[in-house]
């Protein structure tokens, strides 16, 4: 038994809610790129985001300060 798959296009998402459309377009666009990518915002739920923000503010987590220094 063979399976078939449909490659989505932006037109396939016209009848989907805004948040679902945003997610689907981000995935569609990100996985169409070379190299493929997905935004890290989809890797964390609300609790995970809170923990990540707390980690970024720790003195031991120097990357945030380095990034801020580069941007300024």
Cα→Cα distances 31→39, 42, 56, Å: 11, 14, 28
Query: Which DSSP letter does residue 60 get?
Result: T
15 CB-side CA count, 13 A = 1
The pLDDT score that the predictor gives to residue 41 is 85
The pLDDT score that the predictor gives to residue 36 is 94
Backbone phi, then psi, for 4, in 5-degree steps?
-120, 150
The pLDDT score that the predictor gives to residue 1 is 65
Number of other CB atoms surrounding residue 36 within 10 Å: 8
Domain extent listing, the chain: 12-71
Rounded CA gap, 33 and 39, in Å? Answer: 12
How would you write the pLDDT of the chain (72 residues) with one tens digit per residue?
Answer: 678 877 777 777 677 677 778 888 888 889 889 999 998 888 888 898 899 889 888 888 888 788 888 988
């Amino acid at each position: 038994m063979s399976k078939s798959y449909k490659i989505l296009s932006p037109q396939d998402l016209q009848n989907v809610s805004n948040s679902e459309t945003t997610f689907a377009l981000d995935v569609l666009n990100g996985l169409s790129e070379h190299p493929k990518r997905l935004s890290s915002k989809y890797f964390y739920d609300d609790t995970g985001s809170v923990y990540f923000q707390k980690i970024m503010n720790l003195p031991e987590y120097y990357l945030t300060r380095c990034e801020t220094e580069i941007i300024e």
